[in-house]
Amino acid sequence: MNPYQASERIEKICRLAPVVPVLVVQNPDIAKPLAEALISGGLPVLEVTLRTKSALQVISEMAKVPGAVVGAGTITKSNDIKDAINAGASFAISPGVTDTILEESERHKLAIMPGAATPSEIMRLFQLGYSVQKFFPAEANGGRAALKAIAGPLPNVKFCPTGGINRGNAEGYLELENTLCVGGSWVATQKLIEHRDWHTVNDLANKASKLGSKI
């Protein structure tokens, strides 16, 4: 899968829902009920961060849940790509990129949404063919105003901003022409996951799924 095909696939995934929950899950036993709460709330696209020992197992469990579109997040080294595929991830997200991460995702045909934070990084990725990028860390990096400004000289790059986004500021991003969806942990926080509060997760997902999208 070349970068153009990967971007096409990522764009389709981003258009499935306005919000991609960013999940940090320690316990694989709760993967299924967590995914079910999010999906039935209207958020089928799930980013499972490779930040816990059981993240790959969590991906495997979530990928079995009907309707789930599960991606591996926090891809920081090239080996992560193969691990993510073996676990059943259907896409990958990275906070930034290295050449080897891009090479591995292309070689193993795993669609990647690479992360970028500055115009030079965005331009480099776009030149390679990656037209859909994660804008990270969104709020710390200038937030909505930065993305709006970037759309001037770089109108053909689309983003999933992530980092510091919540129910209060998500809508502002989703109004932008260059924002396909946003990522965030607010729909399934550590506390909600620890308390196995699937009712609240479902409610937050439901509210998030109604935020202004371009579906």
Supply 133's token pair. 């990028």
Closest C-alpha to 7, from 77, 92, 64:
92
21 lies in the site for ligand 3PG, by CB under 6 A: no
8 annotated active-site: no
CA distance 39 to 66: 9
185 lies in the site for ligand 3PG, by CB under 6 A: yes
171 annotated active-site: no
Catalytic residue among 36, 47, 104, 106: 47
Whichever of 48 and 69 has its CB closer to ligand 3PG, that residue is: 48
22 lies in the site for ligand 3PG, by CB under 6 A: yes
Three-state SS for the chain is CCHHHHHHHHHHHHCCCCEEEEECCCCHHHHHHHHHHHHHCCCCEEEEECCCCCHHHHHHHHHCCCCCEEEEECCCCCHHHHHHHHHCCCEEECCCCCHHHHHHHHHCCCCEECEECCHHHHHHHHHHCCCEEEECCCHHHCHHHHHHHHHCCCCCCEEEEECCCCCCCHHHHHCCCCECCEEECHHHCHHHHHCCCHHHHHHHHHHHHCCCCCC
162 lies in the site for ligand 3PG, by CB under 6 A: yes
The minimum distance between CB 168 and ligand 3PG, in angstroms, equals 12
89 lies in the site for ligand 3PG, by CB under 6 A: no
202 lies in the site for ligand 3PG, by CB under 6 A: no
Taking CB under 6 A as the binding criterion, the range among 59-67, 145-153, 159-167, 173-181 that sits at the site for ligand 3PG is 159-167
174 lies in the site for ligand 3PG, by CB under 6 A: no
72 lies in the site for ligand 3PG, by CB under 6 A: no
Supply 94's token pair. 């990275």
**Applying CB under 6 A, which of residues 34, 62, 163, 192 lies at the interface with ligand 3PG?**
163
The minimum distance between CB 142 and ligand 3PG, in angstroms, equals 15
Catalytic residue among 61, 104, 106, 134: 134
143 lies in the site for ligand 3PG, by CB under 6 A: no
Please report, as ranges, the residues that interact with ligand 3PG according to CB under 6 A: 22, 136, 162-165, 183-185
Q: Which residues are marked as active site?
A: 47, 134
